[in-house]
Amino acid sequence: MIEFLSMGGYAFYVWSSYAIATLLLGGIVIWSARRYRSVRNDAINRARRYRRKS
């Protein structure tokens, strides 16, 4: 198990790469969810305003 975790001497590079990739992907998921909510709410508000005018 120790050999697997040490990755043949490249553990720092490998594990830091995994950490950075995980953080970036997590950030993309969070950003996408927030952006989706924002766009959805804007569309709902525009539809409500349009219905009031009609």
Domain that holds residue 41: 2-53
d(CA 47, CA 37): 15
pTM: 0.72
Number of domains in the chain: 1
Number of Cβ within 10 Å of residue 14's Cβ equals 14
pLDDT score recorded for residue 14: 94
| pLDDT, tens digit, 9 for 90 and up, residues 9-29 | 999 999 999 999 999 999 999
